[in-house]
Amino acid sequence: MEQKAIPVTKYHGCGNDFVIVRAADVEGMDLPALAVRVCDRHTGIGADGFIVAETGPLEMIYYNQDGTRAPMCGNGIRCFAAFCLQEGLASGTGFDVVTLAGTKHVAVLGNDRYRIMMGEPDFSRETIGTPFQVDHYLLNDHEITSFFMGTIHTVVFTDNAMGNIEVPGREICHASLFPQQTNVNFVEVVDRNHLRVQTYERGCGVTLACGTGVCASAFQAWREGLANPSVDVELKCGLLHIDIEDGIVYMSGPAVRILKGDYYL
């Protein structure tokens, strides 16, 4: 039986890796099932997420590695931007990308770096699906604040963000308080210009980087008076820069192409 070949490209942003395809190449396919298959690190290509590029308008359709749909991905949108430029789906020094979290503007900085307008956080309980607004709430001995920043995020301040966050991250992510689950960001304030962040992502687990998580972490650190509105955020595999201007969050960082070829079904 002849196998079907799907053209794929793989990128990473600070270690957060994604397989990206054109919508026309996977038309009519079960995309959640395909995401699981492609993202498997043993029998697939291996990735934290699966991205489908739709055109007319340009849209980023994002799936976690477990096949669940997510509104947005900060590292993913930089990789998506690089893919669109390299594949001729976009051009110029800036363009808009439609996502489930709204339209995001991409500024091309050069040298494989991109600046994304990530928007404003939403603290309403209706948006994150909780019975009350989660602001400085004590859960499992952790003081947490939750809000929507591209997707649902929870911020926890800690003295050691780069430690083992697997257990507390999973417990908070799957707590009954969050019917849609939540990404959990452990944030260490080094100084007012420098944070360290590690994230437990819903639908994925602990990852090397989470762009929307970095945005949420930097915003909450600024909101608490712990950091400046312009801050560098250290991750296990790279560095992102966050600017907060009039309450709007901007993220700058790299996107690196790893491979380009065919995936066989």
Active-site amino acid positions:
73, 210
The rounded radius of gyration (Å) of the Cα atoms in the chain is: 18
Selection from 97, 66, 83 nearest residue 19 by Cα? 83
The DSSP letter of residue 122 is B
> Which residue matches tokens 């999973």?
170
3-class secondary-structure state, position 163: coil
Contact criterion met (CB below 8 Å) for 61 and 54: yes
260: exposed, middle or buried (C-beta count within 10 Å: 0-12, 13-18, 19+)?
Answer: middle
The CA-CA-CA angle for residues 76, 249, 17, to 5°, reads 15
Provide the β-strand partners of residue 97: 104
Which alpha helices (H) appear in the chain, and where do they start and end? 31-39, 74-86, 125-128, 166-173, 211-223
Written as six digits, the tokens of 183 are: 């990404």
| 114-151: b (≥16 Cβ within 10 Å) or e | bbbbbbebebeeeebebeeebeeeebeebebbbbbbbb
- Angle at which helix 74-86 crosses helix 211-223, to 10 degrees, equals 130
